[in-house]
Structure 1
């Protein structure tokens, strides 16, 4: 009997050993060099092409159904960027293991970028206790936006100063090819974007928005910023599987999306040649010259779906330029570009934050945008009466041009700029609009947070919003 018990015990031990062996995959890497992680992080962060953002921002329309982004019937968004933050955290760990500090410096930028993307969607979000599940922290508290933005600004400044002193090579960099000066420019230019997003908080002594803004602008030696389109934070696509333009061969883009009417009309009124790079001619104007402004049209973003569908069938609406779905490389995706920076500086000048004339930055932004689309003869356009700044409405003109410049690029940036300033006006007067004709201010928190982290979630909702987790509630950032 003892003999059988011994044999059985040995078999059990052997079985356990085999199970444990199966759990440890010898072909699965447990460590990876930080440069490989950087490449993947860049691919995610710099891919900013978003049809949903273009619908919400009145640049495109959709005809295969009542799209919630277009008609402002928003619901919940996700916490997917925390997965990206986990990758950044892993890059930091591998950077420390490899004793290569430069990746820890770049991680400060990416942590700031992904956190900003999260907080401007919802309001308060987990920050100080985020992505710590491996340490047993599964229910992180929600930090308030003021403390988040303060930490982000401090971290970006630290990254800028540290990068200037670092002499290590950046490998795995598919954006700037390891050029540290360009990274330095991006960090500081992005800092100006973050500071401008705080334009309603200039009296907050904890943030010192205008002081920080001028510290960067007035010290180009210490805080260099973009100087031309050559500095654009651009993800260049190549004609290789999984590396092509994200809308390449998109059937729905070819069949269900059209240009938005108010956007087309704005370009027509300005006689803006960028219209020809954005849009295709209307089907019923196919014989017209490509440069004929009357050959283009759009669908009204807030009009009933049936009205837009009928107009599209009649051939009165332009689809997007075929290059967006026919060309595998198309145009680069911008995390941030020189044109955006110039419009940010122009808005700062219009608000009295800096002393350089507003027009200098404003026209530089327009020119940079046109050059990006291959339009080099800009003098005639810049001289048009309708393009000139009006002293009592400079911000409106700046944001209108910025809206054009950021067409189907830079993610949700232009929507959040419009949310902050009210410019340009997004139509909500059509018969198809939902949400009681209101443009949403935010997205509701993810459903899984109500199950996995309810106490901290409810604390955050209660301290922010008197009407609960509602898409029309105003977060601290824009109140």
Structure 2
């Protein structure tokens, strides 16, 4: 499997010919180290992992946040392999493993902990997009080029799996006093790294919560209670994000889109209905008013159904001038927005859900309100009393779970595939049926996963076949994930 080979770390060794007894000290350029360090490995990893979560294509389309009017095959469930994402995550996983190795070599347990957090996140991305994937035997280089595909249940719950890695990270960060890297997100703030690890732990515990009775390695309810007792994200200052910059290659990718491509990206009917119904101020930040409404002197916002073919768009009378595009935050300047891997509002909604579903104790109503307020505040807005107390938003015990998941869906705007994963897990918020559903093997149904990359059949054929046999006998996008609803 070519993806398991060692990644290139990109270190340049500079040599200058000289005759001296102090050759090593005189002829070594300190600006070009010859040995990898955790610090050197961490920066490109953070940049790639976080910016990769700024998903305004597949993730936002599957979540029904956005609707594209062209090149929208994934929205129509005509899934492919998503091979580029697979390849990238295995490259990241390789470099994370290298970071673990050099952290242990240099006796830097806090760096090791950070690598465990990133490994847990990367492993979750892989298994949540494809199901069973190589994990425990992955990135061993020449020692094992045909790793076994591990069951999703094991990737989450076994020793060395996602939950265990995050517990190890908390243990190391809470008890170590070594110096952390001055990283590009938290600037070496130990507490913020602890909060991220524990918050991710809660995210993934809730992700597998539908399968609590099948987990033998730990008690899910106890794990959730323990995670919620530890430091977690509390404010937007704890968010795991990178602000885009004015210069390439760190500019907002939407700013650099060709005008024709940008015009394909539109507001979805579903998010339009929610934002307009509740007069949600985030609407004016995320989207632009329709062209015709501006010309008529009365700004309004409108969407279109997700996943429409050109024929269907014609039939429903689609007009570009009557449907909203993305707003100035993303298009007018290259450095106005941020790429977000996890935000504190998600954490509040996770805690509220855990309480409502009986996995934890606490005040779900307060957490729900805090989640809304933090999401608004992230965009420089205020969750007014009028917004919070209106019917549909004001917390009601009878509809608490639906309300929590709806507001969480909004808070996950442009956060990877997270809102899509939540929909697969809970069915909330409910999605409109596609007018052009191109699911190849289950017409009208919602798929669950991407196809495996084609080169897996050639390079890791035996284990690939074993994995698909275990998941129903064919490489099928409709095969349910283990944690799915």
Write out aligned runs for 1:21-60 (5 A): 30-47=34-51, 48-50=53-55, 51-60=57-66
2:329–2:337 CA contact under 8 A, matched in 1: no
Q: What SS is found at the alignment partner of 2:341?
A: strand
Instruction: Show the counterpart of 2:172.
Output: 162
TM-score, normalisation: structure 1? 0.88
Shift in Å, 1:314: 5.4
CA distance in 1 between counterparts of 2:267 and 2:182 reads: 37
Q: What SS is found at the alignment partner of 1:400?
A: helix
Instruction: Show the counterpart of 1:193.
Output: 203
1:425 and 1:99, CA in 2 relative to 1: closer, same or farther beyond 3 A?
same
Q: Rg: which structure is higher?
A: 1
CA distance in 2 between counterparts of 1:370 and 1:412 reads: 21
Instruction: Show the counterpart of 1:63.
Output: 69
Write out aligned runs for 1:64-103 (5 A): 64-65=70-71, 67-78=72-83, 79-80=86-87, 81-103=89-111
Instruction: Show the counterpart of 2:294.
Output: 286
CA distance in 2 between counterparts of 1:75 and 1:180 reads: 40
Q: What SS is found at the alignment partner of 1:71?
A: coil
CA distance in 1 between counterparts of 2:434 and 2:251 reads: 38
Shift in Å, 1:202: 1.6
Instruction: Show the counterpart of 1:405.
Output: 411
Render the CA deviation track for 1:183-233: whole Å, top value 9, x for unaligned. Answer: 01110011000100012112233242111000122x3xxx21111111111
CA distance in 2 between counterparts of 1:25 and 1:390 reads: 63
Q: Which of 123, 134, 137 is 1:126 aligned to? A: 134
1:39 and 1:315, CA in 2 relative to 1: closer, same or farther beyond 3 A?
same
Q: Which of 210, 214, 217 is 1:206 aligned to? A: 217
Shift in Å, 1:302: 4.0
1:304–1:433 CA contact under 8 A, matched in 2: no
CA distance in 1 between counterparts of 2:268 and 2:319 reads: 15
Render the CA deviation track for 1:56-80: whole Å, top value 9, x for unaligned. Answer: 1111111234x11211111213322
Instruction: Show the counterpart of 2:369.
Output: 363
Q: What SS is found at the alignment partner of 1:327?
A: coil
Instruction: Show the counterpart of 1:12.
Output: none
CA distance in 1 between counterparts of 2:330 and 2:313 reads: 22
Pairwise CA RMSD = 2.0
1:97 and 1:126, CA in 2 relative to 1: closer, same or farther beyond 3 A?
same
CA distance in 2 between counterparts of 1:109 and 1:405 reads: 22
Shift in Å, 1:134: 3.3
Q: Which of 239, 253, 268 is 1:246 aligned to? A: 253
Shift in Å, 1:289: 6.5
Render the CA deviation track for 1:399-425: whole Å, top value 9, x for unaligned. Answer: 1111111112x2000100001100111
2:65–2:271 CA contact under 8 A, matched in 1: yes
Count of residues in correspondence between the two structures? 444
The worse-fitting range, judged by mean Cα deviation, of 299-308 and 206-215 is 299-308
Shift in Å, 1:247: 2.1
Q: What SS is found at the alignment partner of 1:335?
A: strand
CA distance in 1 between counterparts of 2:479 and 2:245 reads: 42
The worse-fitting range, judged by mean Cα deviation, of 161-170 and 189-198 is 161-170
1:370–1:378 CA contact under 8 A, matched in 2: no
CA distance in 2 between counterparts of 1:414 and 1:158 reads: 27
1:38 and 1:289, CA in 2 relative to 1: closer, same or farther beyond 3 A?
farther
Q: What SS is found at the alignment partner of 2:41?
A: helix
Instruction: Show the counterpart of 2:276.
Output: 268
Q: Which runs of 5+ in 1 are unaligned?
A: 1-23
Instruction: Show the counterpart of 2:20.
Output: none
Q: What SS is found at the alignment partner of 1:385?
A: coil
Instruction: Show the counterpart of 2:22.
Output: none
Write out aligned runs for 1:361-440 (5 A): 361-408=367-414, 410-430=415-435, 432-435=436-439, 436-440=443-447
Q: What SS is found at the alignment partner of 1:387?
A: coil
CA distance in 2 between counterparts of 1:378 and 1:224 reads: 28
Shift in Å, 1:312: 4.5
Shift in Å, 1:114: 0.5
CA distance in 2 between counterparts of 1:308 and 1:300 reads: 9
TM-score, normalisation: structure 2? 0.87
CA distance in 1 between counterparts of 2:46 and 2:280 reads: 33
Render the CA deviation track for 1:125-163: whole Å, top value 9, x for unaligned. Answer: 11121001232x110011112221112211211110111
Q: Which runs of 5+ in 2 are unaligned?
A: 1-11, 16-31
